[in-house]
Amino acid sequence: MPIPFDAVPPRFPLMDPEAEWGERRRNPAKARAAGLPVTPLRRTVADVLAWDRDRGMPPLNLGLTPEQEQQLLAQH
């Protein structure tokens, strides 16, 4: 069952990357022509998570705590 949008803080990304990414995909031709790499979404997300883990303090205080996430998932 999907989590209602009003159950989380504003700007919290409630999306299924697999289902919705196709709608947000852009043509990478200009980036490639400029010599930029095109990185798959899963790789980008993994890289951002790794950066966040490695950057140390202060922690990012956005989104849900692990406890809030578990409580929300248990309700739905």
* Its pTM surpasses 0.95: no
Residue 71: domain span? 5-75
Q: What is the pLDDT of residue 13?
A: 66
**SS3 track for the chain:** CCCCHHHCCCCCCCCCHHHHHHHHCCCCHHHHHCCCCCCCHHHHHHHHHHHHHHCCCCCCCCCCCHHHHHHHHHHC
pLDDT of 34 reads 94
What's the number of domains the chain is made of?
1
What was the pLDDT predicted at 69? 84
pLDDT digits (tens, 9 = 90+) for 11-26: 666 655 555 555 556 7
The residues of the chain scoring below 50 in pLDDT are: none
What pLDDT score was predicted for residue 17? Answer: 54
